[in-house]
Amino acid sequence: MIPLPFNHRSTPILSSEKIDIRYVATLARLALTDDEVARFGAQLGDLLEHVDALAKLDVSAVAATAQVVESRNVERDDILAPSLDREVVLAQAPARQGAFFRVPRIIAE
C-alpha cells in the first residue's frame, strides 16, 4: 500500500502546494531519474500556479462537461463480425507464448 502524502481536505480547493512527484510517478507507472524528479517537480509546480487561475471562476452552479456534442452510449447488435486476425496482433507482441502475451510473473511464489 502506498502511503498518501497529500493533505486530504473535506472541501478540495485549488492549491499550489509542492507536488510529491515520486508518488505521482508511482501512480503513473513511470520510473523517474533524480534529475527528472527535480525538473518535472519545478515545471509542474509552475503549471499549477497558472492553473490556479481557475479558482477565480464561480462554478458552484455549473454542470461539468465531459463531451461537448452528443454523449450517449452506443451499442452494436450482438452479431458475429470479422475482427483483427489473432496472428497479426500477436506478431506485434514484445513476447508471446502460443496464443498468449507473455509477461513477467505477477503472483509471487
Q: Are 12 and 53 in contact (CB under 8 A)?
A: no
SS3 101: strand
Task: Give the DSSP letter of residue 29.
Answer: T
Is 3 a binding residue for other proteins by CB under 8 A? The answer is: no
Which one-letter amino acid corresponds to residue 72?
Answer: R
DSSP H helices in 11-82: 21-27, 34-51
**Site for other proteins, residues 41 to 100, rule: CB under 8 A:** 43-44, 46-48, 50-54, 57, 59, 62-70, 73-74, 76, 84-85, 88-89, 92-95
Interacting residue ranges for other proteins, rule: CB under 8 A:
4, 6-9, 12-15, 19, 21, 24-25, 27-32, 36, 40, 43-44, 46-48, 50-54, 57, 59, 62-70, 73-74, 76, 84-85, 88-89, 92-95, 101, 103-106
